[in-house]
Amino acid sequence: MGANELYNQIVSVTEEYLGPAAGRFIDRIIDFHLHKIPSKVSPDDIPKLSEWVKVSLGLLTDDKRLVDECEQKILKLAGH
């Protein structure tokens, strides 16, 4: 799976929870926490990325089930 394809899948998963803001949300996490450009995200980045998504979504909602569900869907993209 290419980096752009992986990135698109991550955004697609996150769109289920954040709608059109998902792309910007993921871009900021990848840039700020992974210190890379979004198009360079790799399967090795998924565990750290999913943790930051979990923390960030947790700040936006009290629905732990929703946050955990999103985290698990992102982890599945790398086979975790």
Residues 27-37 have pLDDT tens digits of: 999 999 999 99
SS3 of residue 63 by DSSP:
coil
What distance in Å separates the CA atoms of residue 80 and residue 76, rounded to the nearest whole number?
Answer: 5
Task: Give the pLDDT confidence score for residue 1 in this predicted structure.
Answer: 57
Task: Give the pLDDT confidence score for residue 15 in this predicted structure.
Answer: 97
* Termini Cα distance of the chain: 15
For 41-63, what is the mean pLDDT?
Answer: 95
For 46-53, what is the mean pLDDT?
Answer: 96
Q: Is the pLDDT of residue 47 over 90?
A: yes
- Residues spanned by the domain of 66: 3-76
Q: Could you give the number of structural domains in the chain?
A: 1
Task: Give the pLDDT confidence score for residue 78 in this predicted structure.
Answer: 87
